[in-house]
Amino acid sequence: MKSPSTQWLRWTLVVLYAVAMAWVESAVVFYLRSMMNRIEPYQPDPFHIIVGFGWVELIREFATMVMLLMVAALAGQNWRSRWGYFAIAFGVWDVFYYVFLKIICGWPHSLLDWDILFLLPLPWWGPVLAPVMISLLLIVWGTLASQWIRFRPPGKAHWWLWLLNFAGNLLALYTFMADTLAAVPGGLAAICNVLPAAFNWPLFIVAWLLMAAPVIFATCQWLAHQRPKPLNSLNPDLDATTH
């Protein structure tokens, strides 16, 4: 078993990797949006993509996920810590992606600015604040899962927590893709010209709380672990003589 200092060193290295990767991602997006005059994605004809770039961009997004998974696989020692490191890397990468875009080009102007969040399997639309909220959940859970050596995050015995989490993920995906799903009957042209008018915040908050179920459970476990134990539990012999 690795020492706590070694575990935190791994955590720091994964975070540094994610921050550096976020700068690369921000720079690439800045270049693409500058070439297409789409620094602000929420405008008519949002997918005004230069011929030949579409499939390249889709593969780039997939490759990004592979890179995050690979660094997590290298950093972790078991499935729990590997998923924890992936959650940390994804969350840090996503948050700093927006931080660096703000530094590079001044966008987003606020956390409520609309953004095209992802392209697979359909375009995801949402205010910047929404993915940032999810990323913060990932960072907290990933840190608990990878760093607290004695901690055991919700496992098979707590399947209902993961069922709630799964339901939350589906609801969140729906809120991001609701408008593009409605445009599917109109074909690719209709999908590519979707501009959402409003974000379903009430449904997203419900989804976020459901996704947070394992994180809340894990945090409660961690807090309980930090509480001082009763004197008798620290001295079994004394406890035995009192009965």
DSSP letter string, 13-43: HHHHHHHHHHHHHHHHHHHHHHHTT-SSS-S
* pLDDT: which is higher, 125 or 81: 125
CA separation for the pair 49, 32 (Å, rounded): 9
CA separation for the pair 37, 24 (Å, rounded): 20
**Residue 19 belongs to what domain range?**
4-228
Q: Please give the backbone phi and psi of residue 116, each rounded to the nearest 5 degrees, phi first.
A: -85, 105
Q: What total of structural domains would you count in the chain?
A: 1
Tokens of 153: 């995050």
* pLDDT score at 225: 66
Q: Residue 23: exposed, middle, or buried by beta-carbon count in 10 A (0-12, 13-18, 19+)?
A: middle
Query: How are the residues of the chain apportioned to helix, strand and coil, as percentages rounded to the nearest 5?
Result: 70, 5, 25
* pLDDT score at 67: 92
Give residue 113's region: left, alpha or beta (phi > 0; psi -120 to 50).
Answer: beta
Question: Does residue 242 lie within any of the structural domains?
Answer: no
* pLDDT score at 186: 87
Question: Does residue 37 lie within any of the structural domains?
Answer: yes
Question: Does residue 239 lie within any of the structural domains?
Answer: no
Question: Does residue 65 lie within any of the structural domains?
Answer: yes
Residue type, 122: L
pLDDT digits (tens, 9 = 90+) for 134-172: 999 999 989 888 876 555 555 555 778 888 989 999 999
Question: Does residue 133 lie within any of the structural domains?
Answer: yes
* pLDDT score at 21: 94
pLDDT digits (tens, 9 = 90+) for 27-37: 998 988 888 77
Residues constituting the chain: 243
* pLDDT score at 53: 67
Tokens of 240: 């035995």
